[in-house]
């Protein structure tokens, strides 16, 4: 049983399809692992034991009937608690939705079910996906399986920690400023932010609508590609969904190769604030790509220096508008309704009680940035910066096929270290944010352990919009070369829980 | 750039429908001032002739044929309501006595 949890998603699906193991056995092994370690890790907010076993039994029955199984049939998955799940609590890591049971499935949830993926439960996250450490969850922080006193990244720390703790071979995250890639980097796993609009946002609780993007988290590049293909594609329920074919990501992941490719190193992603061990592993990755036959080009994207500032005006502005729906009238928490107070007073008391400090901070920041006297100076200017960043990317992709950088400036920091210093916390997403502003695609994958603290370092690969397959082609080649060099996947060096 | 005062934070909280406590007003005033100070650099490009980008995709209004389709039942739609009455959301008073 124990070895079932170490298998990749592709291996599990193949074994189930071949009848070597049942989906129920695989699901039970993962549920047992969750029971054994999740008290320490706290990756899950809700485990749907009965639902998962029922889905697994359905897959086994399908196989017995001789029906064809999909590429991920019977594979367990951990779902970020930001996607609605019919009949199963969805809290977005917030007290304001504690106990809320959605009456409908998100499009992504529906697609996972249609692909016969077994949903184990909902994973912990920074409240409303606002944060870089999962410390902003109203239900307590998640620990990094490499060192439980450190953060697992955020906002999707629960999803990445579940992968690194072998509680699930697949997970789903969402990436508004790096919330898939940054947790992947600090937990030694793989995370992909697809092109904006590639995966439906219907039923995904909105934080910053022009930046939010759901995507796959996995332990291998191929597993991420298989999941990418299962969830991507046009959705008529989402007006921002791209109506175009999904790039051939699985094929790319199976044929990793960088020979003759032009790889750009972003000059602005280095220097002050970058941990020495992170830069060392990044520079080794550049060397590796050169050895594998890529041409390395230094690229300057001068406007990237303004990306963090633009992001912390645009994201809070959109959040202050999106979170207006939490008004205590139609769903969620209601506080102070004693028959004497007005609806407006009840709304204000409910939001005070239901939102945590980071959410309040961003709602206030957004309200300020959008207010009439400051609109042009802040929100309007931030949108101009967004144009400049998009132009930087366009110029870069005229010269190279992909860009690379460290995913995060440092390895996982201790829980609590940056909790009272918002600006220090915001720096964790320094390298990931430009991609969200421009809407293109990016991946983080492990590139080694930082020598000074023995913690994972992530390599970020960035591709143009709708060229998500390039991420997988480069990622698979890097992963294969590193795994051969290390003699095993990086995650095997993590301490056992 | 103007600093953010405690009074301004209180005003923002009212606009944002947040009944903040006194200690929160003090705390946020300092933090918001720090954050705004750090991100105000974006205005350095404001004079330039740069068109703003509000969204990574060129958004167009997406229409579908006006056909009745199955949707949530009233019971489903009301299932998460804090209070309900006669198949409606029950809310506190909105208009005053006068």
CATH number at residue A157: 3.90.1300.10
Q: How far apart are CA A276 and CA A281, in angstroms?
A: 9
Query: Does A422 map to a domain?
Result: yes
Query: Does A358 map to a domain?
Result: no
Domain count, chain B: 1
The answer to whether the CB of A408 falls within 8 A of the CB of A456 is: no
CATH number at residue B28: 1.10.20.60
The string of pLDDT tens digits covering residues A212-268 is: 999 999 999 999 999 999 999 999 999 999 999 999 999 999 999 999 999 999 999
Query: Does B14 map to a domain?
Result: yes
Residues paired with residue A199 on neighbouring β-strands, in sequence order: A232
Q: How far apart are CA A258 and CA A480, in angstroms?
A: 12
Query: Does A353 map to a domain?
Result: no
Residue A279 exposed, middle or buried by CB count within 10 Å (0-12, 13-18, 19+)? middle
The string of pLDDT tens digits covering residues A180-191 is: 999 999 999 999
Please indicate if any CB of chain B lies within 8 Å of the CB of A331: yes
Q: Which residues in chain B show pLDDT less than 70?
A: 1-2, 96-98
User: Chunked in runs of 10, what are the mean pLDDT values of chain A (497 residues)?
Assistant: 88 97 98 98 98 98 96 98 98 97 98 98 98 97 98 98 98 98 98 98 98 98 98 95 96 98 96 95 98 98 96 98 97 96 97 98 96 92 97 98 98 95 93 98 98 98 98 98 98 96
Residues 19-78 of B with CB under 8 A from A: 19-21, 24, 28, 31-32, 34-36, 38-46, 48, 50-57, 59, 61-62, 64, 72, 76-77
Report the first-to-last Cα separation within chain A, whole angstroms.
16
Query: Does B59 map to a domain?
Result: no
Q: How far apart are CA A14 and CA A21, in angstroms?
A: 9
The answer to whether the CB of A28 falls within 8 A of the CB of A4 is: no
Q: How far apart are CA A122 and CA A114, in angstroms?
A: 18
Domain count, chain A: 1
Look up residue A268 and give its two tokens. 């602005």
Query: Does A332 map to a domain?
Result: no
Query: Does B76 map to a domain?
Result: no
- Residue A492: which residues within 8 A CB-CB, separation 6 or more? none
Q: Say yes or no for a CB contact (<8 Å) between B43 and A351.
A: no
Q: Locate the chain B residue with the closest alpha carbon to A337.
A: B92
What pLDDT sits at residue B98? 54
Query: Does A433 map to a domain?
Result: yes
Query: Does B29 map to a domain?
Result: yes
Look up residue B44 and give its two tokens. 């350095």
The string of pLDDT tens digits covering residues B46-59 is: 777 999 999 998 88
Query: Does B9 map to a domain?
Result: yes
Predicted TM-score of the model (pTM): 0.97
Query: Does B47 map to a domain?
Result: no
Q: Give the structural domain span for B15.
A: 1-42
Query: Does A295 map to a domain?
Result: yes
Q: Give the structural domain span for A252.
A: 9-272+278-299+395-493
Query: Does B63 map to a domain?
Result: no
Query: Does A376 map to a domain?
Result: no
What pLDDT sits at residue B97? 60
Query: Does B77 map to a domain?
Result: no
Question: Is A155 a known active-site residue?
Answer: yes
Length of chain B: 98
The string of pLDDT tens digits covering residues A332-382 is: 999 999 999 999 999 999 999 999 999 999 999 999 999 988 999 999 999
Query: Does A412 map to a domain?
Result: yes
Look up residue A112 and give its two tokens. 């996972």
Q: Locate the chain A residue with the closest alpha carbon to B49.
A: A384
Q: Give chain A positions within 8 Å (CB) of B21.
A: 352
């Amino acid at each position: 049983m124990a070895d079932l949890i170490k298998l990749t998603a592709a291996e599990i699906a193949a074994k189930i399809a071949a009848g070597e193991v049942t989906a129920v056995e695989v699901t039970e092994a993962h549920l047992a692992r969750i029971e054994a370690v999740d008290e320490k890790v706290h990756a899950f907010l809700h485990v749907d034991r009965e639902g998962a076993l029922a889905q697994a039994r359905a897959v086994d029955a399908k196989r017995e009937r001789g029906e064809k199984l999909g590429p991920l049939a019977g594979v367990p998955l951990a779902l970020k608690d930001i996607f609605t799940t019919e009949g199963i609590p969805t809290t977005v890591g917030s007290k304001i939705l504690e106990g809320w049971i959605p009456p409908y499935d998100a499009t992504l949830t529906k697609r996972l079910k249609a692909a016969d993926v077994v949903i184990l439960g909902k994973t912990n996250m920074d409240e409303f996906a606002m944060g870089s450490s999962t410390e902003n969850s109203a239900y307590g922080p998640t620990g990094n399986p490499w060192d439980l006193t450190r953060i697992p990244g955020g906002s999707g720390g629960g999803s990445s920690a579940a992968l690194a703790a072998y509680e699930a071979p697949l997970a789903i995250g969402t990436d508004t400023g790096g919330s898939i890639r940054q947790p992947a980097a600090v937990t030694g796993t793989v995370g992909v932010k697809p092109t904006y609009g590639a995966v439906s946002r219907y039923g995904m609780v909105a934080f910053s609508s022009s930046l939010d993007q759901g995507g796959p988290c996995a332990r291998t590049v191929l597993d991420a590609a298989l999941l990418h293909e299962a969830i991507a594609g046009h959705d008529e329920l989402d007006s921002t969904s791209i109506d175009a074919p999904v790039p051939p990501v699985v094929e790319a992941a199976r044929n990793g190769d960088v020979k003759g490719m032009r790889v750009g190193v972003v000059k602005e992603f280095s220097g002050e604030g970058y941990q020495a061990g992170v830069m060392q592993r990044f520079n080794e990755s550049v060397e590796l790509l050169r050895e594998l036959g890529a041409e390395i080009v230094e690229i300057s994207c001068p406007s990237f220096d303004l990306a963090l500032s633009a992001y912390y005006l645009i994201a809070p502005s959109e959040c202050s508008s999106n979170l207006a729906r939490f008004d205590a009238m139609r769903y969620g928490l209601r506080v102070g309704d004693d028959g004497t107070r007005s609806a407006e007073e009840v709304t204000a008391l409910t939001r005070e009680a239901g939102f945590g400090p980071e959410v309040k901070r961003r709602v206030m920041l957004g309200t300020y940035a959008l207010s009439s006297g400051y609109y042009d100076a802040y929100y309007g200017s931030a949108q101009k910066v967004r144009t400049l960043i998009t132009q930087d990317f366009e110029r870069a992709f005229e010269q190279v096929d992909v860009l690379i950088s460290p995913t995060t400036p440092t390895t996982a920091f201790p829980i609590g270290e940056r909790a009272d210093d918002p600006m220090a916390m915001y720096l964790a997403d320094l390298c990931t944010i430009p991609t969200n502003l421009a809407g293109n695609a990016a991946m983080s994958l492990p590139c080694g352990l930082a020598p000074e603290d023995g913690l994972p370092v992530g390599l970020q690969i960035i591709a143009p919009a709708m060229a998500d397959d390039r991420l997988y082609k480069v990622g698979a080649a890097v992963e294969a070369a590193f795994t051969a060099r290390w003699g095993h996947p990086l995650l095997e060096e993590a301490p056992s829980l | 750039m103007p600093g953010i005062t405690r009074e301004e934070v209180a005003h923002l909280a009212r606009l944002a429908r947040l009944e903040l406590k006194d200690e929160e007003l003090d705390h946020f005033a300092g933090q918001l001032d720090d954050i705004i100070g750090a991100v105000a650099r974006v205005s350095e490009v404001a004079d330039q002739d740069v068109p703003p980008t509000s969204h990574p995709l060129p958004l167009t209004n997406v229409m579908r044929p006006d056909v009745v389709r199955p949707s949530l039942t009233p019971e489903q739609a009301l299932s998460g309501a804090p209070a309900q009455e006669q198949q409606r959301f029950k809310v506190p008073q909105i208009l005053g006595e006068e």
